[in-house]
Chain A
Amino acid sequence: MTTMVSVKSVTKIYRRGSEEIKVLDSLSLDVPEGEFVALMGPSGSGKTTLLNLIAGIDQPTSGDVVVGGKNIAVLSEGDLAKWRSHSVGFIFQFYNLIPVLSAVENVELPLLLTRLSKKERRERALTALKVVGLADRSSHYPRQLSGGQEQRVAIARAIVTDPQVLVADEPTGDLDAKSAEEILKLMESLNRDFKKTIVMVTHDPRAADRAHVQRHLEKGVLELR
């Protein structure tokens, strides 16, 4: 199985004034293509930082992050933005939908960066909504949707560009048990049926159990369990 995500000896240091905080310490991680990995660990262990590095929204102080064969640690900010637009889908804990846009417009948003026509963009967005089971809510605004539905729209937005990798930062953290179950089922389906490689940060052991592999972080280092 080919490796989709390869984190090689990555160190991440944040500077707060004169103080240096080492969040990740020479961390290495390989995620094979089509894998569903759960990253767990206490607050401040560096799991969200690792996720941000894999998603290309942050860059390591040292080391390499190779996603889909591309070392994104060396990309400029502009190139990184371009790479994110088609290579990775991000699922947030608090959904982060744009309130003034309807469900389908929210899903369509990443497609504005493509050369697709308006019609093609709309068709793709509706298809993504259909995949998450919300085709009938396409014209609803976020305020008209439940938390679970909002997260499903957010997932549709993450998959609409057909990225190779999905990263999710506590995707069930703001949901009730029933909605969380639906979201996890959806993520399983995306992994199983659409062969998406998923890296998920979670505190919830039940959510982590749905992943194929669980990795634990402690003070910026992956623990072997």
Chain B
Amino acid sequence: MKYLPFVLKHLRRNWVRTSSTVVAMAVCIFLLCTLRSVLAEVDGMLAASQANRLVTRHAVSLTFALPMAYEARLQSIPGVKRVAKTAWFGGSLPAKKEGAADGTGDAEASTTDWSNFFNNMAVDVETYFAMYPEMVIPPDQWKAFLETRSGCVIGSKLAKKFNWKVGDKFFLESFIPPYRRRSGPFEFVVTGIYDADLTKYPGTDVNSMFFHYEYLKEGVAPRDVGVGTFAVEIENGDDAGKMTKAIDALFENSSAATLTETEQAFKAGFIAMAGNLALLLNGIGLAVAFTILLVTANTMSMAVRERRTEIGVLKTLGFSSAHVMGFVVGEALVLGVLGGALGVFGSQGLLYGVSHSPGVSDILAGIGLSGLELKPDVALLGFFVAVILGLFAGLVPALSAYRAKITDILRTV
């Protein structure tokens, strides 16, 4: 520790260079932590998927609906246990919450409040929740949900966010044209709040809302809304590959061919609509880390080259080669620690800001990324990478300082 002030004094020698190196390192760690947090959240979401749950959608695109008649045909396939219709409603709280729903207002004029967007889905309630035992609803609330056509269940996190309680009413208006009705937004009553054991089922989404598919269907009648996706539960998760093929083969020559995937593949595909997310994010992280390694190594090399005479003097005074090497590595480590700390705090700040800013957090929640935060293991990883980067960056110049001979240095003074 007695050498630390000496190391720090050297870092202050060229503060512009030192601070720019620290900032470069911080940017690297900031990106690494932020990207890893996004990936961790996506992984968590995918981990909540189960092998015996499949999703059948239109082969062309998610935006095309499937005929309702497919439900019975799916149910008839051997190995299929349950089938539930689902529709991603895409509803958000209207800026004008009251008035339009009862037909007294101008529904077309009501505007959408995107700042509070959350995931909401119309489902065949009984079969859908039977497929998802991880979502737990108290029996009395479940009973009320089944009996109330405009009823909905909301995740515990969502309830906390809006301070909604059982019995509260709110309006949602979809941005998807077939799900909008002339009379105005749909009115919902909270009949239940579901929760999940996140230790047993990590990644379970408790930030969504589910309501009766029939309510949606009746609301937009006489328009036929079709089915967004079918949730299919199969008897044996090991047969998932065989079953997806069997389902798609059944509808191969029909007007609406299907694409059936495991729930995990479906979610991954949904996330990956922007490309191969994991490859992209990891690629960016690696490229930035490697660049910063070169930048820091160059900075350290310059710093050591400038101080060649001092290295000779230190050795003359009795400092061993290991001491001198330690000083150089120490400086590089301090750069790493400072950059790492700054990057981790920056990432924490951004993720906190994103997850607490009304507009962005709600959009993220809408695609299932409601728990975006800097987790301790990601922060530790970022800090560790910064220290390792600092260590590696300092290693070559430190070895050069270690090997430098006093007589060679002093001869060139």
Q: Are the C-beta atoms of B320 and A81 separated by less than 8 Å?
A: yes
Q: Are the C-beta atoms of A86 and B407 separated by less than 8 Å?
A: no
> Which of B313, B318, B410 touches A98 (beta carbons < 8 Å)?
B313
Task: Select from chain B the residue with minimum beta-carbon distance to A81.
Answer: B320
Residues of B within 8 A of A55 (CB): 316
Q: Are the C-beta atoms of B321 and A77 separated by less than 8 Å?
A: yes
The answer for the CA separation of A78 and B318 in the assembled complex, in Å, is 9
Known: A57-B316, A99-B13, A112-B3. A94 touches B310 (CB 8 A): no
Q: Are the C-beta atoms of B319 and A81 separated by less than 8 Å?
A: yes
* 0 or 1 for each of A79-122: is its CB under 8 Å from B? (1 = yes): 00111111000101010101111000100011011000010000
The answer for the CA separation of A96 and B13 in the assembled complex, in Å, is 16
Q: Are the C-beta atoms of B315 and A85 separated by less than 8 Å?
A: no
Residues of A within 8 A of B410 (CB): 52, 57, 92
Q: Number of residue pairs across A and B with beta carbons under 8 Å?
A: 66
Number of interface residues of B (CB under 8 A): 25
Query: Counting CB contacts under 8 A, is A58 at the interface?
Result: yes
The answer for the CA separation of A63 and B375 in the assembled complex, in Å, is 65
Q: Which 5 A-B pairs have the closest CB atoms?
A: A85-B318, A81-B320, A84-B318, A57-B406, A96-B313
The answer for the CA separation of A94 and B413 in the assembled complex, in Å, is 8
> Which of B10, B317, B319, B413 touches A90 (beta carbons < 8 Å)?
B317
Query: Counting CB contacts under 8 A, is A157 at the interface?
Result: yes
* 0 or 1 for each of B311-344: is its CB under 8 Å from A? (1 = yes): 0111111111111000000000000000000000
Task: Select from chain A the residue with minimum beta-carbon distance to B12.
Answer: A100
The answer for the CA separation of A55 and B406 in the assembled complex, in Å, is 11
Can you list 21 contacts pairing A with B, beta carbon distance less than 8 Å? A52-B410, A55-B316, A57-B315, A57-B316, A58-B407, A77-B320, A81-B321, A82-B318, A84-B317, A84-B318, A85-B317, A85-B319, A86-B318, A92-B410, A92-B413, A99-B13, A100-B12, A109-B314, A110-B317, A113-B317, A118-B2
The answer for the CA separation of A98 and B318 in the assembled complex, in Å, is 15
> Which of A57, A78, A98 touches B320 (beta carbons < 8 Å)?
A78
Q: Are the C-beta atoms of A81 and B13 separated by less than 8 Å?
A: no
Task: Select from chain A the residue with minimum beta-carbon distance to B309.
Answer: A96
The answer for the CA separation of A137 and B408 in the assembled complex, in Å, is 32
